Amino acid sequence: MADPRLTPARGDIAAKFLEGKVEAARFVEGETLAVCDAIAPVRAEPFAAAEQMTQALKGELVTIYDRNGEGWAWGQLKSDQYVGWLPEAALAKPSINTHTISALRTFAFPGPSIKLPPVDTLLFSSAITVIREEGKFAVTREGWFVPKQHIRQIGKGEHDYVAVAERFIGTPYLWGGKSSLGIDCSGLVQISLNSAGYSCPRDTDMQQAALEITITEQEYGPLRRGDLIYWKGHVAIVRDAETIVHANAFHMATAIENTRNAIARIKSDGNEVLAIKRIG
């Protein structure tokens, strides 16, 4: 059975590429748009109080298959294939992105001065189109001025995804979040791995199934930096022989924790380690 999180199909409508594979009243090609807001929620249903399943950052592409006429659009993210409802106001015609934001957060200014009131806040891994440079700033297609120290060219990834995750320490826990304004466990893993050039699905079960190398040594060792520990509905990144970094609801933040203490604490809640995965 197709995973509804990754399959743009409902009883009334489905993506054209699924014709003959699923049942639906009609099939449509869809329209490719890009997220123009700093961040856009991807919700299970088309209303603001619905569950936030994930988020889309500025510059992310999404194929829209349906609109409900009340400000919501239903589609599939290009980056990780996630399906859900996004606010129509957060979408615009796409452009060719040239750079991503390399700082956890940065400001976009209306002119070449940090003394001006910012027009927006841009978040780590957001994509922008730079049309020129002016002094210490990169100028985007919107006419915004972004500090050059806070961007990098697309294709030039981070070298250490664990170090990326560590930069999020103290970020509040947010179900479905994937930014320094709020992030969940699988969002932290996904954005960290993506920034270093690794493909990574969104949710913990998807990640566990997709990552091929499993560590099976007795007592979960020897662990090394970058290993991923999976429980049902949770994941943590190994920092070293003794500690992990993870976004978690126990601390309500991204935090460093002793590995064996965390395993014991989570086990006391009835949740055993399911797998340990190694990248590369």
pLDDT one-digit tens code per residue, 192-226: 999 999 999 999 999 999 988 787 655 556 899 99
pLDDT one-digit tens code per residue, 229-250: 999 999 999 999 999 999 999 9
Assess contact for 123 and 177: CB atoms under 8 A: no
Q: What is the pLDDT of residue 215?
A: 77
Counts for the chain of helices (H) and strands (E), in that order: 4, 24
| Percent of the chain at pLDDT exceeding 90 | 93
In terms of Cβ atoms closer than 10 Å to its own Cβ (0-12, 13-18, 19+), residue 67 is middle
pLDDT one-digit tens code per residue, 34-74: 999 999 999 999 999 999 999 999 999 999 999 999 999 99
End-to-end CA distance of the chain: 30
What is the number of other CB atoms lying within 10 angstroms of the CB of residue 268? 8
In terms of Cβ atoms closer than 10 Å to its own Cβ (0-12, 13-18, 19+), residue 208 is buried
pTM over 0.85: yes
Q: What share of the chain is helix, strand, coil (3-state, %, to 5)?
A: 15, 40, 45
pLDDT one-digit tens code per residue, 110-131: 999 999 999 999 999 999 999 9
